[in-house]
Structure 1
Amino acid sequence: MLTPGVAHETLLSRRTLQLWAVTFLTCFGIASAAAGLIEALFNDPFKPFGAYYLGAALLGCCTIATARVWPRTSFSRYFPIPGTTITIVVGDLFDQDGHLVVGMNDTFDTDTGSVIAPHSIQGQMLAREYGGDLTWLDEDVEKALRDVPPTRLESRTDRPRGKLARYPIGTVAVIGERHRRFFCVAYSTTDNGNVVHSSLDDLWQSLSGLWEAVRLHGERRTVSVSVLGTGLARISNLPPGDLIRLILISYMAASREAVIADQLRLVIHPPLAANLNLQGIEDFLSAQ
């Protein structure tokens, strides 16, 4: 659910207010046209109660406009072909059941003490799913990557902090248990100064690898993903709404080749949702 503060911010955002005004004026225009037609046909029926009709029209238009822009916490669409549901949820990724997608860098760094931000998705996975046990998490990641040859090994001199083995963009380390797997996908690169970089091509390539891994290891269970590309590895010049559309398009394209999961749940963090046109995203999903 949206917190009251986030809901308040969403309702008072410039985008929301513009949409509310457009909706209100459209409704009022339709109501005025209808009233004019009725008045012409029935010889001024509103004259005795004009103020009441005007008040009712204004109240009705306000109600419709407010309902149009009111923040929604979730919406879904089922696609008979390929037999999957896409759900958009405003909330916490780690509160979701089923499998989770965790975006990572090409070295699969996990240490929140020196490289990874504690508030990042990787940092939250370590704290909330592994109880802060870095050794346990690293062992799982290394086991998942044991058959994947790295593209490059950095020296400790060149990279003082972080892991040294670099893997291709789109590599997925599948960790966790059968009922709750974590699909750790490399969608960004981290230079030797631990500055994160990503691009539209990197994201598309990583999504392709991600969906294939989910298809192979997810057993068609629900998989939840955050809006990749909006954190420290932010893809420049691409707004969050476009990133969401890109993720949805990628999933639908891959699903039409073969079923990936019964449900994809795209989870939007509340502060990010406050600045998004969620109605536009719902309209986009409905149009597919």
Structure 2
Amino acid sequence: MSIARDFTKRRFWSRFSIQTLASVGFFAIFTGVTDALFPDALPPVGKFLAAAVSVLSIGYGLFQSWPRPVQQSYSSPNTEIHIVEGDLFEQEGNVVVGMTNTFDTEIPHIIDERGVQAQLLTRVYRNDRAALDRALEAELDAHPVVHRFTPDDRKPGKQDSYSLGTTVTVAPAIRKLYFCVAYTEMNKRNEARGSVDGIWRSLNNVWDEVRAKGNGDPLSIAVIGGGQARISQYFPAQDSIRFIALSYMFASRKEKVASRLNIVVEKRAVRNLDMLELQAFLKSLRPS
């Protein structure tokens, strides 16, 4: 993940200033105490000593403030959270796939072909929609249908709706699971709508499913809230990442979910994120 953009953030310069001044203060106290106890131990303060202190202090400030990969390890529970720039489907381990509560799979007229749900079809199932539908239906048999559209609704695509947060697991590849969760509701015009409360409940269901079937393997999830959910206007990516991390940590404190959670950010969205602030947030989730 590029770190150049972090140098434009106020948080970086604030931390750099604090750490640099702290280093200057340390040298000032050290030389003052040494001079008081051993008056002849230090040479007269000159340009060389001032320059040396300045260089060392600036170096220390840079070292402490230099942007690093955004990740945090936790001991209780024993897990990690990484914020990763890249491709969700190229990450190690299992994957969370956000879907609508009708589990529609037809692209592009019903499902946005750029979304995660569509990529599950095109990249994992190689455009074999029948195979994906069979896998979903086999798992959905265990979940009750809460609403069925009628012919008068004239809804294209699938007609059965399931509870928000319904989560099913498909496994088209060996040792890689895809946890498909309904975090938006589809209406008869195939308009998907989501809410913060609905996404929170859906995430809780995902963590339960991952805990039961994921074998503790690393888990990857995309930033949610935009796209079909249509709530990005009050749930931007920065807040979405914090939301996912907070939900994951609450669930993990109850019982371990996975060895690592990767929150995957698309490259076009990274430039709008304050990575230093996100690092500080992840650090704040450690038990006090």
TM-score bucket (shorter structure): 0.7 to 0.9
SS in 2 for 1:56: helix
Distance 2:79 2:28 in 1: 48
Which letter maps to 2:249?
Answer: M
- Hey, what does 2:252 align to over in structure 1? 255
Give deviations 1:218-271, integer Å, cap 9, x for gaps.
222222111222333143423323322222222222223333223332222233
- Confirm or deny that 1:233 pairs with 2:229: yes
How far apart, CA to CA, are the structure 2 residues paired with 1:83 and 1:39? 45
Tell me the equivalent position of 1:19. Answer: 11
Q: Partners in 1 of 2:80 and 2:58 — Cα distance?
A: 37
How many pairs are equivalent?
276
* 1:216–1:25 Cα change, 3 Å: closer
Question: Which of residues 67, 89, 107 is equivalent to 1:112?
Answer: 107
Does the Cα contact within 8 Å between 1:154 and 1:165 map onto a contact in 2?
yes
Identity %: 31
Q: 1:39 touches 1:45 (CA, 8 Å); kept in 2?
A: no
Residue number among 242, 245, 248 corresponding to 1:245 in the alignment: 242
- Which runs of 4 or more aligned residues in structure 1 lie more than 4 Å from their structure 2 counterparts after TM superposition? 31-44
Which residues of 2 match residues 115-264 of structure 1 at below 5 A?
115-177=110-172, 179-235=175-231, 236-264=233-261
Q: Please state how far the C-alpha of 1:32 moved relative to its aligned partner.
A: 5.0
Cα pair 2:71 2:282 within 8 Å, conserved: no
Q: What letter corresponds to residue 23 of structure 1 in structure 2?
A: R
Q: State the Cα distance separating 1:127 from its structure 2 match.
A: 1.3
Alignment gaps of 5+ in structure 1: none
Pairing 1:35-74 to 2, within 5 Å after superposition? 38=31, 41=35, 45-49=44-48, 52-53=51-52, 56=55, 60=59, 63-64=62-63, 68-70=65-67, 72=69, 74=70
- Output the TM-score relative to the length of structure 1: 0.82
Paired residues of 1:170 and 1:205 also in contact (CA < 8 A): yes
Residue by residue, what CA displacement relative to the aligned partner does 1:100-152 show, whole Å, maximum 9, x if unpaired? 10001111111122111111101111111011111111111111111212111
Q: Label 1:27 to 1:285 Cα distance change in 2 as closer, same or farther (>3 A).
A: closer
Shift of 1:51: 7.4
Aligned counterparts of 1:32 and 1:51: Cα–Cα separation in 2: 10
Q: CA RMSD in A?
A: 2.9
Distance 1:32 1:214, change over 3 A: closer
After superposition, the C-alpha distances for 1:173-202 in whole angstroms (9 at most, x for unaligned) are: 211146111100001112222322111110
CA-CA distance at 1:209 after TM superposition: 1.1
- Within 2, Cα distance between the matches of 1:91 and 1:212? 26
Give, in angstroms, the shift of residue 90 of structure 1: 2.4
Name the amino acid aligned to 2:137: E
Which stretch of structure 1 is more off in the superposition, 25-34 or 164-173?
25-34
Q: Deviations over 1:22-70 (max 9, x none)?
A: 2343344345545666489579944343774486268537734xx6253
